[in-house]
Amino acid sequence: MNENNFLDLISSRHSVRAFKETPISEDKINALIKASTKGPSSGNLQSYQIFIIKDTEKEKLVEAAHGQGYINEAPLVMVFCADPKKCSIDYGLRGEELFCIQDATISCAYTQIAAHSLGLSSVWIGSFDEDKVSQILQLRDNLKPIAILPIGISNETPEITSRRPIDEIVHEF
Ligand SMILES: Cc1cc2nc3c(=O)[nH]c(=O)nc-3n(C[C@H](O)[C@H](O)[C@H](O)COP(=O)(O)O)c2cc1C
């Protein structure tokens, strides 16, 4: 891919919080699932688990996410969970407390960009009751939910968000 195309792609993604009912094709779902595993991960362990939520559990997730109803509108919802146990075997406390969370985060970020490349929209949801999400998904082995990603065809014109000035964030030595 032309590098400018990729930079345009990441610059044109914006969060969408209203979705059409139109289902996502199985081909696109499979492409997203593949993309979700393509990122780097600590020791290539891929210390994360991903849950695909299509039906009734979506309503429960809305409640766990403090009423963010767009979760229920989206035809596809993916929940990204860190796997501290898996990561701690090789990386001890740093794996348990940090690397697995980074692994799951990267996986979600890749999926969000991949969705945009396929003409789909999404919003990263991090505001939720972790215990409730764990209960809904019947999480075992200390899996820690990191992000909920509703994905679908946009039913709104997204807000074009701005970014802080680069010099507030990037520092040269
Ligand atoms: C860690 C994290 C948590 C977020 N949690 C929520 C959330 O719970 N609900 C929501 O509507 N948006 C949430 N967002 C989306 C941000 O509000 C959004 O990405 C940000 O305002 C920038 O807008 P953009 O995605 O359109 O560039 C979250 C984003 C991140 C990275």
CATH of the domain at 46: 3.40.109.10
The domain of 124 spans 24-155
Residue 9 backbone dihedrals phi, psi, to 5 degrees: -60, -50
Q: Give the Å distance between the CA of 15 and the centre of ligand 1.
A: 7
Flag whether 135 is in a domain.
yes
Mean pLDDT of 125-134: 98
Q: Is 4 among the domain residues?
A: no
Q: Which pLDDT score, from 0 to 100, does residue 47 have?
A: 98
Average pLDDT, the chain: 96
Torsion-angle region of 119 (φ positive above 0: left; ψ -120 to 50: alpha; else: beta): left
8 within domain boundaries: no
Residues 6+ away with beta carbon under 8 Å from 66: 127, 128, 129
**97 lies in a domain?**
yes
- Give the pLDDT score at 141: 86
Among the ranges given (3-7, 31-35, 139-143, 151-155), the one the predictor scored with the smallest mean pLDDT = 3-7
The C-alpha atoms of residue 98 and residue 87 are separated, in whole angstroms, by 9
Please tell me if the CB atom of residue 124 comes closer than 6 angstroms to any atom of ligand 1. yes
Q: Which of 106, 121, 124, 161 to mutate for ligand 1's pocket (most ligand atoms within 8 Å of CB)? A: 124
**Number of domains forming the structure of the chain:** 1
Whether ligand 1 lies within 6 angstroms of the CB of 14 is answered as yes
Q: Over 80: is that where the pLDDT of 130 sits?
A: yes
User: How many angstroms separate the CA atoms of 36 and 56, rounded?
Assistant: 23
What is the whole-number distance in angstroms between the Cα of residue 16 and the centre of ligand 1? 10
C-beta of 127 in contact with ligand 1 (< 6 A): yes
In a domain, 94, yes or no: yes
Residue 114, C-beta contacts closer than 8 angstroms, at least 6 positions apart: 31, 32, 35, 36
Q: How confident is the model at residue 4 (pLDDT cuts 50, 70, 90)?
A: confident
> Is 165 part of any domain?
no
Query: What whole-number percentage of the chain has pLDDT above 70?
Result: 99
Q: Is residue 19 part of a domain?
A: no
The pTM score is 0.97
Helices (H) and strands (E) in the chain, counts: 8, 4
Predicted confidence (pLDDT) per residue in 66-91, tens digit: 999 999 999 999 999 999 999 999 99
Per-residue confidence (pLDDT) for residue 26, from 0 to 100: 96
Would you place residue 1 in the very low, low, confident or very high pLDDT band (cuts 50, 70, 90)? low
Residue 54 predicted with pLDDT over 80:
no
**Distance of CA 111 from the midpoint of ligand 1 (Å):** 15
- Selection from 39, 48, 62 nearest residue 133 by Cα: 62
Count CB-CB contacts under 10 A for residue 133. 23
